[in-house]
């Protein structure tokens, strides 16, 4: 099962990608329960409750996800205005700021 770390957006297992209709789990390694919101424009639910201490929540990418920059509106995930989670085939070039 593909997992997406809610702290940093890291997708595991290594080399996995999210694309249309892909099932995955949100993974929360923090000690606190977390509510993710505003996911509904690219995932099957708008809100996910993810328990702490390695808890997970089942999810899947929509058949036609919103691929526009800033589609995931939680500001913790947008820097600046670009989702950290990339839905293929929408590649995002990483930019470094000096």
Query: Domain range holding 11?
Result: 1-98
The total number of structural domains that make up the chain: 1
How many of the other CB atoms lie within 10 Å of CB of 57?
20
Per-residue pLDDT at 97: 52
What is the average pLDDT across 83-88?
42
**How far, in Å, CA of 17 to CA of 11, rounded?**
7
**How far, in Å, CA of 50 to CA of 94, rounded?**
28
* pTM of structure: 0.70
* Residues 6+ positions from 75 with CB-CB distance below 8 Å: none
Q: How confident is the model at residue 83 (pLDDT cuts 50, 70, 90)?
A: very low
pLDDT by residue (tens digit) across 32-69? Answer: 888 888 788 888 998 888 999 999 999 999 998 876 65
Check whether 86 has a pLDDT greater than 60.
no
- Both structure tokens of 66: 């919103």
Q: How confident is the model at residue 22 (pLDDT cuts 50, 70, 90)?
A: very high
Backbone angles phi, psi at 42, to 5 degrees: -140, -10
């Amino acid at each position: 099962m593909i997992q997406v770390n809610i702290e940093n957006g890291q997708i595991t297992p290594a080399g996995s990608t999210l694309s249309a209709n892909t099932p995955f789990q949100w993974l929360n390694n923090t000690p606190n329960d977390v509510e993710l919101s505003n996911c509904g424009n690219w995932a099957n639910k708008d809100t996910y409750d993810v328990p702490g201490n390695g808890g997970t929540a089942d999810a899947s990418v929509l058949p036609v996800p919103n691929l526009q920059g800033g589609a995931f509106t939680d500001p913790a995930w947008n820097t600046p205005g670009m989702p950290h989670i990339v839905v293929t085939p929408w590649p995002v070039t990483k930019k470094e700021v000096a």
